[in-house]
Structure 1
Amino acid sequence: MSLELTRNFSIIAHIDHGKTTLSDRLLEFTQTISEREKQDQLLDAMDLERERGITIKSHPVSMYYPAKDGKTYQLNLLDTPGHVDFSYEVSRSLAACEGALLIVDAAQGVEAQTLANLHLANEQELTIIPVINKIDLPSADLPKVHKQLEDIVCIPAEEAIPASAKNGIGIEDILEAIVERIPAPVQPEDNKLRASVFDSVYDNFRGVVSYVRVISGSMRRGTKIKFFHTPNNYEIKEVGVFTPAMTKRDELVAGDVGYVIANMKSASDVKIGDTMTESSNPCSDPLPGFKEIQPMVFAGIYPVDTSDFEALKAAVAKLQINDAAFSFMAESSAALGFGFRCGFLGLLHMEIIQERLRREFNMDIISTYPSVIYEVSLTNGEEIIVDNPCMLPDSQAIQEIREPMVRVYIMTPGDYIGDLMKLVMDKRGEMENTETIDDLRVMLTCNLPLSEILVDFNDRLKSMTRGYGSMDYEHNGYRAAKMVKMDMLIAGEPVDAFATIVHRDKAESYGRKLATRLKEVIPQQLFVVAIQAAIGGKIIARESISAMRKNVTAKCYGGDISRKRKLLEKQKKGKAKMKAIGKVNIPQDAFIRVLKND
C-alpha cells in the first residue's frame, strides 16, 4: 500500500472511557474480523486485562477501509496501555503514529489521565481527533464536555465527533475523520532501513517477536539487522502484519506497522524504543526518544513454601522474557528463606506480576512491603543507590538521603477539596496549583513523595470522593528528606523482613502500629518477649508479649508460706536465665499475616 493511502493512529483515553470497545467496533466496521471471531475486548489477550477492563500490553492491528472518496486506505491502529505505569510504552507507540483519537466519556468528561496522555501526544506533535463516547447514556452532558474540550484541552468543540462505541453510533464518521484529518506518513529522505520498536513479546516456539513501525527502507526474510543499544547482529526469519492475528508478508516497507521475528532468544536482546537498521548499510543516527526503562518500585517476593524456590525462579525468569521492564535478583532473608528482590515500573505493574505468578504459574507467594529507590550521599563523597532497607549504611556514614518525588494531578468535584488537601498534607505533600475545570470540578496539582502514594493513596482518594476523583502522576526528580532506617527487634534480634526506610516524623507511629500487629501474631513463649521498633540504637516503640506461666505452687498443700516463696524464686531465676539465652522462632504464617495486612 502506498504511503499516501496509509494512516497510522492510536487511541488515548482515561481508564474505562471506552477505548477497547471502540477498537472492537472499528475492527467490525472495516470487516477485519469475521462474525465468527467477534468477541468483546478482542485486542485484550490476557484474562487479567479482560477482568479489570484495562490494557496491559500494546496490541497493533491493520485494517482496510474503502473511504467515501473511492480509495481504499490501510489504517494501522496501535492500541496502547492506559495506566501511568506504562507511560514510556505509550510514548513509544505514539511516536510510531501521525495522529490519535482522544476519547472522552460523555458523562464523566475530561479526567486526569485524559490530560496526561494528551500531553504525551502533543509532545509527539500528533494530529488529535476528539471523540465524545457514550452519548447514549442518560447522564451524558454534551454541552459540558464541549466546554471542557475548549477550556481545558484547547480543542474546538465542533471538531469533536459524537459516538457510542457500544451501540456502533458514529463509527463511520470516526473512520472518515482518520482518513481526512490524520496526515499520511512522511516520505523518507533515503532508502536506509529505520524501524522503531514499540513493543516486543516472547513466543515459546519462535523466540522474540518485535512490534515495529517502519520509518524508511524495507525489510524481508534474510535481511541482516542490528540495533543501536544492543551489541549483536541478527537475521530476520519472518515479517508480517496484524489482522489482528499475525499474518506473514513478503516484506514491510516505509509506513507499515507489523512484526519482525529474528534469531533472538531473550526479550533483553531488544529494547523498547530502540531503532532497527540494516547491518551492512546502517543509518547514521537512531530515531529520537529512546531511554532505558528503570524500575521505580521494589519488593521482595518469596515462596510461602520454601521448597517452591526453584519453581518460583523458573516462573519469574519466564515472566521477564515477556516483560523486559520487570527485573529480579536472588536474595535471602533469615525470616523468609530464599526469594527474589524484584523491580517494577509502579504499583499496578507489581500487582499484575504477582497476580500472573499466582494464576499462570500456580505459585503461592508472599511479598514484602514495597519500597522505592533512594539516592544516598555518604560522608566520604560517594553516591550510592539504595532499593533495599537492609543495604542502607549506618547513619554516621550518611550525609544526605534523597527520595523520589512525583507530581500528582487530581481531578475531583469541588466539594471534596478540603478532605483531599488534608490527605495530601498527611502524605507529606505540597499543593502547587488549584485550577477550576468547570462549575463542578477542580484539578489539584501537588508534589508528593513516591513512597507515600504506594499503598493506600488511590484507595483513600476514591473513598473520600465517593469514586468521582481520579488521579495521574509523573516522576518529578529527587528531594532531600529526613529518611531513617527502622528495624524491628524481636527479643533483641533484628528481623530483616520488617526493616523499612521511613520519614523520621512518621517512624514512631508506623513502628507502634507494626509492633502492635506483631504482638497479635507471635505466639507466647515461656519468657517475656519484647517487640521493639528501633532507629539506630534508639528504641521508639515497644510492645511486650507476656510469658506463659506454669503454676509451680500447685503441688504445695498447706505448710509454711516459705515453701511457695522458694518455688516461685526458683521459677523466677529459671525465667531470667531463659530470657538471656532464649530465642524466638517466628512461625512462617506470622510473617504472612503481617505482610499481607500491609
Structure 2
Amino acid sequence: MRAMTELSHIRNFSIVAHIDHGKSTLADRLIQSTGTVQDREMKAQLLDSMDIERERGITIKAQTVRIDYKALNGETYVLNLIDTPGHVDFAYEVSRSMRAVEGSLLVVDSTQGVEAQTLANVYHALDADHEIVPVLNKIDLPASEPDRIKEQIEDVIGIDASEAMLVSAKTGQGIRETLEAIVHRLPAPKGDRDAPLKAMLVDSWYDLYLGVVVLVRIMDGKLRKNDRIRFMQNGTVHQVDRIGVFKPGMLPVEELGPGEIGFLTASIKQVRDTKVGDTITHEKKGTETPLPGFAPSVPVVFCGLFPVDSAEFEDLRNAIEKLALNDASFSYEMETSAALGFGFRCGFLGLLHLEVIRDRIDREYNIDLITTAPSVVYNVHMKDGEMIELHNPADMPDLTHVSHVEEPRIKATIMVPDDYLGDVLKLCQDRRGIQQELTYAGSRPLVVYDLPLNEVVFDFYDRLKSVTKGYASFDYQITGYRQDNLVKMSILVNDEPVDALSMMVHRDRAEMRGRAMVEKLKELIPRHMFKIPIQAAIGGKVIARETLSAMRKDVTAKCYGGDATRKRKLLDKQKAGKKKMRQFGKVDIPQEAFISALKMDS
C-alpha cells in the first residue's frame, strides 16, 4: 500500500494545441524524461493506442498518464497528464478533459504560430478557469521564430507569453524546464480528504476482460477497493472490484484520494450506465450535492450506414453496438431503405468522426459499407404549432402541413495567409455564408463567418484546403437555428423515388443541384431494355430530367424488301412491348452508382 500523496504535491494538467503542433510528442518526452516508461518500451506517440490514430497521425481519444517527478528542490511530485485531440470533431473530448484538471500547457508550433484550433482550445481552457503555461515547440527547426510567435500569442489570445517555454519535443530540449514550470506555475488541486466521496466521471470505455472501465477524478473524500458506490445520475449501485492509475499501463493501487485521477472497475456491463460528467459517491453517507457535470455531446451530422451485402446486416449490428460501447458521442437507430435494404441511421460529431467510425467498421469487422449523403438535424415547424426534429430528409412531412423549416448555423473561424483570402471569401459566399468580421492576427487574416451547417458537412473542409493549398486552419461552433427557404429534393428513377438520394437544399440552388445529380446518375445507371426517366423533383414539380435510352434489338433485320407497313408493324409491336416492360420493369441501380452519386462535387 502506498502512502497518500499530499495535495500540494499533485499537479493535474492537459496538453492542448492545434493539429500537428506536437502534443503527443511532448507527452512522449515528459513520460520518457521522468522514467515513467523504460526506454525499451518507448515508442512514438505512446498514448495514441488505436491503429487508426497511429496511421492518420492524429489523437482521437484523450488519454491519461500519471508521472512521478523529482523536482530540483528535492521534493517528489505526482503529475497527472491528459493528452487531448486537436481536431474540431473531437472538441468534446477536450472540453471534458479540461474539467478534470487545473492547468494547461498550450503548445504552439514556433514555425506556424497561432491557428484556429489553438484559439478554440484556449477558450475551452479559460472556460474551465485554467492556469495556462505557453510552450513554443519545434525550436530546433530553421524556420522557428519564437519572438514573433510570442508577440502573436499576446496579440491574438491575450495571455502573457514573455515566460513561454522554448521546447523541442523531438530532441528533448527544454523538457526539464517545462517540468519545473508545471510544478511551480500550475496550481495544486483543492479537496477535503474527510468529506463524503465526490468523484467526477471523466470517461468510460469497454474492456473485454474487465467490463466497463471508468476514469475518475476524485474531488473530495477517498475511494477504496470493495467500496459500494452510487452513480448519482441514474442511481445504480456497484461494488468496486479494482482501482488504479495509468502509468500508462494499468497499475492497481489501494486507494485514491482528493486531487487524484485514476480508474475503477465494478463489473458494469453497459457503458450507457456510466454517463460522462456524472458524480460518483458512496452508497451510504454519500454527498448530497452532485457536481455540475457537463452537457451531453449532441450529434450534428447524420448519415445512413448500410452493408453492401445485405446478409451482413447482423454483423453490422454487432459492430455498431461494440463501437457505441466505447464512444459515448456516437448514436444510432435502425432504418430501412427501399434501395439499400436494412441499415442504421447514425449520428456523429462531424465528418472526421464519421470517417473514423466507418474506417473502424471496415477494418476491425471486415464489413463493406454504403454511406448515404450526410445530413444535419432540421427543425420542421408544422402549421398546427408542433415542431419535429428531422434527421433524415426522406421523412420530410407533406409541404402543405409545414409552416417553415429551420437549419443549424455555425460560427466558423478561418485563419488564412493573405494570398488566399479572396478565394476563401468567395467560397464562404458561395456556401450562403454571412461575413461577421475580418481582422488581422499579426500578419494573417482571421475571418469569422456565419454559415449553414449543411453547406459545411459535404465537402467544405476539402474545398477550403484545396483553394488555400492546405494553409488555412478552420474551427467552428454551433450557434443555433435559423429559418431559411429550405425544400426537400427527391430523386425519381423510372417514376420511383430513391429515398437514399433525397436531400434538403436551399430553393435558390435546388435546380442546379438537381441537374448535377440527374446528369451524374445518367452516366452511372446501366442501360436497360426500356427507356428510364431520371428526375429531380420538389414536391410534385420536376425541376430537372434526363432520359436513359433503351437498349434495342433490330427487329427489322429479317425484312428483305416488301411493303413498308411490314416493317412498321414489327416496330409498333416492339414499341408496345417496351411500354409494357417499362410499366412492370424494375430498375437495378448498382451499389457503385450510389456511392459515386453521393460524393458531392462542387
The interval holding the TM-score normalised by the smaller chain is over 0.9
Kindly provide the CA deviation profile for residues 502-554 of structure 1, in whole angstroms up to 9, marking residues without a partner as x.
11122111111111111112121222210000000000111110111221111
Matched residue SS, 2:285: coil
Aligned to 1:549: 552
Rounded to whole Å, the distance in 2 between the matches of 1:39 and 1:581 is: 63
Partner of 1:257 in structure 2? Answer: 261
Corresponding residue for residue 56 of structure 1: 60
Deviations 1:408-457 (A, max 9, x none): 10011122221111100111111111111112x11101111111111211
Select between 145-154 and 121-130 the one with higher mean Cα deviation: 145-154
| Correspondence 1:355 to 2:376 | no
Whether the 8 Å contact between 1:296 and 1:346 is mirrored in structure 2 is yes
Instruction: Write out per-residue CA displacement over residues 312-336 of structure 1, whole angstroms, 9 at most, x where no aligned residue.
Output: 1111111111112111111111111
Counterpart position of 1:126: 130
Q: Which amino acid aligns with 1:528?
A: K
Q: Which amino acid aligns with 1:540?
A: I
> Counterpart of 2:269 in 1: which secondary structure?
coil
**Number of the residue aligned with 1:268:** 272
1:89–1:198: 8 Å Cα contact kept in structure 2? Answer: no
Contact 2:13 2:105 in 1 (8 A): yes
What is the DSSP-based 3-state SS (H/G/I as helix, E as strand, rest coil) of the residue aligned with 1:372?
A: coil
Letter in 2 for 1:345: L
Aligned position for 2:286: 282
Letter aligned with residue 381 of structure 1: G
SS in 1 for 2:123: helix
**Structure 2 SS opposite 1:584:** coil
Query: Residue 383 of structure 2 is aligned with which of 366, 379, 387?
Result: 379
Match of 1:87 in 2: 91
The alpha-carbon deviation at position 569 of structure 1 amounts to 2.4
State the Cα distance separating 1:597 from its structure 2 match: 6.6
How far did 1:388 drift? 0.7
**Distance in 1 between the 2:581 and 2:41 partners?**
71
Q: Separation in 2 of the partners of 1:384 and 1:281?
A: 44
Q: Distance in 1 between matches of 2:161 and 2:337?
A: 59
Q: Which amino acid aligns with 1:266?
A: Q
One-letter amino acid of the structure 2 residue matched with residue 465 of structure 1? T
Q: 2:166 aligns with which of 156, 162, 169?
A: 162
Contact 2:67 2:247 in 1 (8 A): yes
Please list, as runs of the form range in 1=range in 2, the aligned pairs for 1:491-510 lying within 5 A after superposition: 491-510=494-513
Once residues 561 and 361 of structure 1 are traced to their aligned partners in structure 2, the CA distance between those partners, rounded to angstroms, is 64
Query: How far apart, CA to CA, are the structure 1 residues paired with 2:481 and 2:293?
Result: 22
Q: Is the deviation greater in 396-405 or in 16-25?
A: 396-405
Residue of structure 2 equivalent to 1:537:
540
Relative distance call for 1:17 and 1:475 in structure 2 (3 A) is: same
In the alignment, which residue of structure 2 is the partner of 1:15?
A: 19
- How many angstroms apart in 1 are the aligned matches of 2:166 and 2:382? 58
TM-score by length of 2: 0.97
User: CA offsets, 1:355-404, max 9 Å, x none?
Assistant: 00011111111110011111111111111111011211011111111111
Partner of 2:585: 582
- Aligned residue type for 2:481: Y
Match of 1:153 in 2: 157
Within 2, Cα distance between the matches of 1:184 and 1:592? 53
Mean Cα deviation higher: 585-594 or 550-559: 585-594
Kept after mapping to 1: 8 A contact 2:193/2:258: no
| CA–CA separation in structure 2 for the residues paired with 1:502 and 1:91 | 33
Is 2:35 the counterpart of 1:44? no
In the alignment, the residues of structure 2 paired with residue 254 and residue 201 of structure 1 have an alpha-carbon distance, to the nearest angstrom, of 23
CA shift for structure 1 position 566 = 2.3
| 1:475-505 deviation digits (Å, cap 9, x = unpaired) | 1111111111111111111111111111112
Change (3 A) 1:524 1:187: closer
Q: Which residue of 1 aligns with 2:145?
A: 141
> Structure 1 residue 271: deviation in Å?
1.1
What SS does the corresponding residue of 2:360 show, helix, strand or coil? Answer: helix
One-letter amino acid of the structure 1 residue matched with residue 450 of structure 2: N
TM-score by length of 1: 0.98
Distance 2:588 2:89 in 1: 39
Q: 2:252 aligns with which of 232, 248, 253?
A: 248
- How many pairs were matched up? 597
Q: Contact 2:394 / 2:502 at 8 angstroms: preserved in 1?
A: yes
Which amino acid is the alignment partner of residue 110 of structure 1?
A: V
Shift of 1:464: 1.3
Percent identity, aligned pairs only, is 52
Q: Is the Cα–Cα contact under 8 Å of residues 375 and 454 in structure 2 kept in the other structure? A: yes
What code does the residue aligned with 2:462 have? D
Q: In structure 1, what residue type is equivalent to 2:501?
A: F
The 2-side partners of 1:148 and 1:272 are apart by: 36
Deviations 1:14-39 (A, max 9, x none): 00000000000000111000011110
Matched, 1:521 2:524: yes
Give structure 1 stretches of 5+ with no counterpart: none
Q: In the alignment, what sits opposite 1:594?
A: 597
2:420 is aligned to 416
Partner SS for 1:176: helix
8 Å CA contact 2:458, 2:600 repeated in 1:
no
Conserved 8 A contact 2:459-2:600: no
Alignment partner of 1:105 is 2:109: yes
Q: Structure 2 vs 1, CA of residues 426 and 597 (structure 1 numbering), >3 Å: closer, same or farther?
A: closer
What is residue 490 of structure 1 aligned with on the other side? 493
- The answer to whether the 8 Å contact 1:9/1:78 transfers is yes
Cα distance, 1:8 vs structure 2: 0.4
Q: Say whether residues 1:220 and 2:229 are aligned partners.
A: no
User: Kindly tell me: are residues 563 and 319 of structure 1, through their superposed partners in 2, closer, same or farther at Cα, counting changes over 3 Å?
Assistant: same
Aligned ranges 1:309-324 → 2 under 5 Å: 309-324=313-328
1:480 is aligned, of 480, 483, 486, to: 483
Q: What letter corresponds to residue 474 of structure 1 in structure 2?
A: Q
Question: For the Cα contact (< 8 Å) 1:553–1:564, is it kept in 2?
Answer: yes
Cα RMSD of the aligned pairs, angstroms, is 1.4
3-state SS in 1 of match to 2:241: strand
Map of 1:183-262 to 2, 5 A cutoff?
183-188=187-192, 191-262=195-266
The CA deviation string for residues 28-63 of structure 1, in whole angstroms up to 9 with x for no partner, is: 111000011110000000111111111111110110
Q: In structure 1, what residue type is equivalent to 2:542?
A: I
> Comparing 185-194 with 557-566, which one deviates more in the overlay?
185-194
In the alignment, the residues of structure 1 paired with residue 96 and residue 113 of structure 2 have an alpha-carbon distance, to the nearest angstrom, of: 26
Q: In the alignment, what sits opposite 1:398?
A: 402
> SS in structure 2 opposite 1:282?
coil
Give the whole-Å Cα distance in 2 for the aligned partners of 1:503 and 1:231: 46
